[in-house]
Amino acid sequence: MLLLKGAAFARRLGLGPVIDRVRPAVLKRVGRGRAEVRGMVLEAETVEDRMYYGQLQGGREGFMADLFERAVEPGSVVADVGANVGFFTLLAARRVGPEGAVYAFEPDARNVRRLRANLARNGVEGVVTVVPKALSVADGVERFYVREAGDVSSLYADEPYDRVEEVQTVAGDRFFAEARAFDVVKIDVEGHEPAVLAGLAQSLKRPGIRLFVEYNPGALEAAGTRPEALGELLREAGFSVQVIDEEARTLRPLDGRPAEYVNLYCER
C-alpha cells in the first residue's frame, strides 16, 4: 500500500514518465494479481489498479454501489457511461440476468482491455456490450487527455496529463435509438456529464429512469461549464436530485455547490 501511495504522490508531482519507466520492473517484483470486491474478481494489471481496488475494498462509493444494485432489477437495461475497468458494469451485469443488458461506454483503450478481462473473469460477457467510445452529443473524434491513473483521464486538459490520443464519440440518442432503451444510467466522465445528458435528451424522457451522476465542480469548470448548471440540467429534465452522502449513508437534497466531488442520485 505504501508503494501505491508513493506512486500516486509522484504522479501529482509531475513524475508520471519516471513511474512509467520503472513500472515494468516494479510489476515484475510486485506481480500481477487479482482482488475480490463485493464478490467479484477484478484483474490487477498496474500499480494504479491495485490502489483503486484497495479503495473499493475499503468502501469507496460503497453506499452508491448499494443504491445502484437496488436500482438494477432482473431484466433491466443499464448504461455505464465512463465504465473504467468495470466495477459498476459488473454490479449491473450480475443483477440484470440473461433477460437484461448492460452497455459499457469507455474510450480509454487501456481501460477497455482491463474491462474486457474483468467481464471474462466473472463470466458476464453475454449480457454486456462494450462500446469503446465516449458518449456525447454527436458522433465524431475528440482529443483525449490520458493520465496513467485511468479513472481521471478526460476529454479536457484540466490536470497534468501523460499523453494525448484521439477517441471516437457517439451520440447518445442515436445510439439508443438502435439499442435497447435503458432503465438505469451511471455517468462518470470527468466534466463531460452535461454533454452526455444533452446527447441523451430524448432518451431520458422515458418514465422510471434512474440516474447516478458524478458532480465534480473542478472537472466541470475545466470543461468550461458552470458547475451549478449540472443540477439545473437534471431538474429541467424532470429529475429530483439528491446527494449520495457516503459518510452518513443517506440521501440529501442537492443544496448549492458542493466543495468537493459527490455523486448524485436522480429519479422522477
**Which grid cell is 112?**
477497455
Q: Do residues 194 and 219 lie in contact, with contact meaning Cβ atoms separated by under 8 Å?
A: no
**Which grid cell is 93?**
451485469
Residue 262 lies in a domain: yes
Q: Which pLDDT score is estimated for 48?
A: 79
Q: Do residues 170 and 205 lie in contact, with contact meaning Cβ atoms separated by under 8 Å?
A: no
- Provide the domain count of the chain: 1
Is residue 143 scored above 50 in pLDDT?
Answer: yes
We report the CATH number of the domain holding residue 152 as: 3.40.50.150
Range of the domain at 204: 59-267
Is residue 126 scored above 80 in pLDDT?
Answer: yes
Residue 22 lies in a domain: no
**Which of the 8 DSSP states describes residue 174?**
H
**Digit-coded pLDDT (tens) for 34-54:** 899 999 999 888 777 888 888
**Is the entire prediction scored with pTM above 0.95?**
no
Residues forming a β-bridge with 27: none
Check residues 96 and 23 and name the one with the higher pLDDT. 96
Residue 25 lies in a domain: no
Percent of the chain that is helix, strand, coil (3-state, to 5): 40, 25, 35
Q: Of the candidates 45, 61, 56, 184, which has an alpha carbon nearest to the alpha carbon of residue 108?
A: 45
Phi and psi dihedrals of 207, rounded to 5? Answer: -70, 155
DSSP symbols for 164-221: EEEEEEEEHHHHHHHSPPPSEEEE--TT-HHHHHHHTTTGGGSTT-EEEEEE-HHHHH
